[in-house]
Amino acid sequence: MSQLRPLNEDLQKTANEELNEVPKRTAEYLRDFRTWIEQQPHLHANTDDQFLVAFLRGCKYSLEKAKAKIDTYYTLKSKYPAIFNETNVDRERFREIFRTGAYLYLPTPLHDNGPRILILNGGLHPADKYSMEEVLAVGHVLQDILMLEDDYALVNGLVMIGDFNAVTLSHVLQMTPILTKKWITYSYEAMPMRIKSNHVFRAPKVFDTLYNLAKPMLSLKQQKRLFIHNNKLESLTQHVPLKYLPKEYGGDNGSIPEIIDEWDKKLDQYRDYFKKSSEWGTDEKLRIGKIKDYDNIFGAEANTHHEMFTVKCLSENLQKVAIEELNEIPSRVDEDIENLRNWILKQPHLKTRTDDQFLLIFLRGCKFSLEKAKSKIDRFYTLKTKHPELFTTQTMDEKTVYEILKLDTFVSLPIPLNGDGPRIQYIRFGAYPADKYTFTQVISIYHTSQELAAREDDYSVVNGYIQLLDTSALTYSHVMQITPLIVKKMITFVEDAVPTRLRAMHCVNTSPVYDKLFNMIKHVLPERFQQRLYVHSTLNSLLEHIPQEYLPRELSGKNGSLEELHHQGYKRFLDYQNYLKDDLNYRNIESLRTHALLDYDELFGVDGTFRKLDID
């Protein structure tokens, strides 16, 4: 325990009027708060007065809210220490990231006695050297220091200015949906300092991808506090007058080198505090009662058959498309999801995921026809159960899966067609050693990746996706692995089972090898499938369908490159490890089926139907 640092007169007045602080009762609140903490067997917390009062003030002296917030604070630190609980502030990489000036707490608060101003300089770290987890860890250490010593931040909150002038595609790709959600959850549910406003400044076009990802994760209240200023300093200074910005922005509020130097010294001063912080956290084995399942919240796994997820909000443009083209009625979405879930639970043969987000993907994919959604989700699990070697990775060892993923044979390009249209997939057909891996293995990983991506990518769910097939690496050895039967199964899965819609396929860099493959399989391609297939002999032909700026750099475009999208699928699989393990629990039990379904054995025939292929 320690004595509280007294507030100045203005701050004390604000604390009394806006935070419900009653100075003569503060000691009583602290005693009750500390007693509760000591009675929690799972919670090992810092119980100094100055630390605890930060949570009381941040929760406007609601003791119950303060309990929940400090529990969340330590739960997330214990569960995700690489992001939220750095204990060694002397690590060379930590100090290198800090000294880039990624986080700048300006010395003078807004209007001299208002909120503390934070400039978040995105993109200053080399994305090929440091991970986003490392960068966020630095920010959370600085937040902890601020929480311990800055009364302006504790009483009046924070004004955050995100300057994203240096952000590149490589930086955006580091900020995965799961990592974004962890960061937002920690910022609003664990940290006791209140974010009064968020300002986005100097954001390049590529930043739109991250913005569209993060905005639906914010509450309506948080969204109303979000301001976009583009490159207009005069727009920003309507909220934060120029004199409260650093000298480098034309203001008087310190210089960037001075601010970095000051905070470098603070890190030295708090060295022992962060070492000691390794003793604090939660031990979930000792917890009495339930806590939020953060694995489910962040999309990593679903542990129970009836687990519900919060449905992600769509961006304004996507919601408009969903209403006009998919027959979505926002006020009825909950009812539609519940009707589909109730039907599933009544089917003795179906053992499927039933979380809200998963079911909504099928409803949108079927334009909210409940009967079509029932059929599609049944066929989805029927085919996964019947042909796991093609539609799941369960028949492969993890080492092989990761090896193939690291070949980057397929990636999703960061910017959808025309900025907000279908997602574009760049698929390098044959970009794997045919003497080491099979086409069946590669395509099974692709199908699993599709399922994972659908949970994150609203553009592909609402607007569908376009396949850009680069066949330059295709050889006769690859063709020998691709039978008409495999192709027929793939097409059936895409048309009958997959909830996201394939809008078009564009083949580029074709060769005589591709011609042989197409001639071999064209008789199993449905007419509607052939109508979506375009073969381009020149780049100009492709540009009639996809403008150059939306192509990857490998095809002379500007929409990312294999180097920038390095190991995209591999990283996604790592994020979803628990989800994939849990997926084995969801399969059909055909012996319990009470109604007939399409006979896929009859439709596909047997594997021996195509014994010999003439590719000479």
Q: What is the DSSP string of 251-269?
A: -SS--HHHHHHHHHHHHHH
pLDDT of 331 strictly over 50: yes
Question: Closest Cα to residue 560, out of 134, 130, 174?
Answer: 174
pLDDT of 494 strictly over 60: yes
Q: Which two three-digit tokens encode residue 158?
A: 């924070």
Q: Work out the number of other CB atoms within 10 angstroms of the CB of residue 101.
A: 17
Separation between Cα atoms, residue 604 and residue 593, nearest integer Å? 21
Q: Work out the number of other CB atoms within 10 angstroms of the CB of residue 266.
A: 17
Residues 571-580 have pLDDT tens digits of 889 888 888 9
Question: Closest Cα to residue 516, out of 542, 482, 489?
Answer: 482
Rounded mean pLDDT, 115-128: 93
Q: Which two three-digit tokens encode residue 337?
A: 């999801």
pLDDT band at 171 (very low <50, low <70, confident <90, very high): confident
Q: How far apart are the first and last CA of the chain?
A: 84
pLDDT of 610 strictly over 70: no
Q: Which residue type is seen at 410? A: F
Question: Closest Cα to residue 482, out of 450, 452, 451, 437?
Answer: 437
- Whether the CB-CB separation of 548 and 556 falls below 8 Å is answered with yes
pLDDT for 175 equals 83
**What pTM did the predictor assign?**
0.62
pLDDT band at 180 (very low <50, low <70, confident <90, very high): confident
Average per-residue pLDDT for the chain? 89
Phi, then psi, of 309 in degrees rounded to 5? -115, 155
pLDDT for 213 equals 64
Q: Which two three-digit tokens encode residue 198?
A: 């968020």
Say how far residue 28 (Cα) sits from the centre of its chain.
42
Does residue 514 sit in helix, strand or coil? Answer: helix
pLDDT band at 615 (very low <50, low <70, confident <90, very high): very low
pLDDT for 30 equals 96
pLDDT band at 134 (very low <50, low <70, confident <90, very high): very high
289/469: higher pLDDT: 469
Beta bridge partners of 220: none
Lowest mean pLDDT among 117-121, 205-209, 433-437, 524-528: 205-209
pLDDT of 363 strictly over 80: yes
pLDDT band at 616 (very low <50, low <70, confident <90, very high): very low
Task: Determine what percent of the chain is predicted with pLDDT higher than 70.
Answer: 91
Q: Is the dihedral of CA 81, 85, 88, 92 positive or negative?
A: positive
Separation between Cα atoms, residue 490 and residue 51, nearest integer Å? 58
Does residue 407 sit in helix, strand or coil? Answer: coil
pLDDT band at 296 (very low <50, low <70, confident <90, very high): low
pLDDT band at 317 (very low <50, low <70, confident <90, very high): confident
Question: Closest Cα to residue 565, out of 213, 209, 312?
Answer: 209
pLDDT for 210 equals 67
Separation between Cα atoms, residue 588 and residue 593, nearest integer Å? 9
Rounded mean pLDDT, 487-513: 93
DSSP strand pairing (103-105 vs 116-121)? antiparallel
- Whether the CB-CB separation of 222 and 185 falls below 8 Å is answered with no
- Whether the CB-CB separation of 174 and 127 falls below 8 Å is answered with yes
pLDDT for 294 equals 73
pLDDT of 563 strictly over 70: yes
